């Protein structure tokens, strides 16, 4: 298999064989993996996986926004949304309280920049707010990942982050926040040691960055 070398190649939907290889490798590394047809199926599955009233935190994600999952978790009223709660708190005087809450929700839901066929997840962040929960602080983590994010190995994953994801996220941040984004923190999850904690919903379609 040829490793992608241009940002354009990082938008291609991975073939079924790549999806299956990634799913098997992730499973071998302790993640719970489900392959779903599309974002609508992921939206339904998320509702099944997270009980009503659970404390949830969603990492910034175009995948969640475009699929409607972000809206379901943060504005439907069915869950205790930490993102909604944090917006009512003072980011200076209550900074530590905000970070403690965001780090240990019942469930953290998000996406990642890349999934390798060798069984690793790669997440990138400017602020790092979602990374403690992803890394293990949250009792449960769920990632929804489009098929265009499957890459052969870790070097390809890091190239995808820098060449493809960062320019798009920078453009989004400029529009939404009026400031550029930055590749300040990268988290690589090579395995999950706690059975059932890390759930990866791999989609057969492309969505998000």
pLDDT in tens, 169-186: 999 888 888 888 899 999
Assess if residue 52 is contained within a domain: yes
Assess if residue 17 is contained within a domain: yes
The token pair at 118 is 């060798």
Q: What is the pLDDT of residue 176?
A: 84
Q: What is the pLDDT of residue 92?
A: 86
Q: Is 117 strand, coil or helix?
A: coil
Instruction: Choose between 7 and 61: higher pLDDT.
Output: 61
Q: What is the pLDDT of residue 160?
A: 97
Assess if residue 2 is contained within a domain: no
Q: What is the pLDDT of residue 32?
A: 98
For 106-116, give one letter per residue: b (16+ CB within 10 A) or e: bbbbbbbbbbb
Domain that holds residue 194: 7-203
Whether 202 shows a pLDDT value over 50: the answer reads yes
Assess if residue 123 is contained within a domain: yes
CA atoms of 102 and 67, how far apart (whole Å): 22
Assess if residue 126 is contained within a domain: yes
Question: Which contiguous run of DSSP H or E holds residue 20?
Answer: helix 16-28
Assess if residue 189 is contained within a domain: yes
**CATH for 22:** 3.40.50.10420
Q: What is the pLDDT of residue 98?
A: 87
Instruction: Choose between 9 and 23: higher pLDDT.
Output: 23
Question: Which contiguous run of DSSP H or E holds residue 143?
Answer: strand 140-145
CA atoms of 209 and 204, how far apart (whole Å): 15
Q: What is the pTM of this model?
A: 0.93
Assess if residue 143 is contained within a domain: yes
- pLDDT tens digit sequence for 77-102: 999 999 999 888 887 899 899 889 99
Would you say 161 and 188 are in contact if contact means Cβ atoms under 8 Å apart?
no
- pLDDT tens digit sequence for 19-71: 999 999 999 999 999 999 999 999 999 999 999 999 999 999 999 999 999 99
Assess if residue 154 is contained within a domain: yes
* Residue 183: Cβ within 10 Å count: 16
pLDDT band at 8 (very low <50, low <70, confident <90, very high): very low
CA atoms of 95 and 117, how far apart (whole Å): 38
Total domain count, the chain:
1
């Amino acid at each position: 298999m040829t490793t992608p070398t241009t940002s354009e190649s990082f938008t291609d939907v991975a073939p079924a064989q790549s999806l299956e290889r990634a799913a098997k490798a992730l499973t071998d590394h302790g993640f719970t993996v489900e392959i779903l047809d599309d974002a609508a199926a992921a939206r339904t599955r998320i509702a099944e996986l997270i009980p009503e009233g659970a404390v949830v935190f969603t990492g910034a994600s175009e995948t969640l926004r475009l699929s409607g999952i972000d809206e379901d978790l943060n504005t439907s009223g069915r869950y205790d949304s930490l993102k909604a709660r944090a917006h009512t708190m003072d980011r200076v005087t209550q900074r530590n309280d905000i970070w403690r809450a965001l780090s240990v929700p019942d469930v953290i839901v998000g996406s990642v920049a890349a999934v390798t066929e060798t069984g690793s997840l790669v997440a990138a962040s400017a602020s790092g707010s979602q990374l403690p929960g992803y890394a293990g602080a949250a009792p449960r983590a769920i990632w929804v990942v489009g098929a265009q994010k499957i890459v052969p190995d870790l070097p390809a994953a890091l190239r995808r982050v820098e060449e493809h994801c960062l320019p798009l996220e920078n453009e989004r941040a400029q529009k939404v926040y009026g400031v550029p984004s930055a590749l300040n923190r990268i988290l690589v999850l090579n395995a999950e040691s706690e059975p059932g904690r890390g759930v990866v919903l791999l989609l057969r379609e492309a969505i998000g960055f």
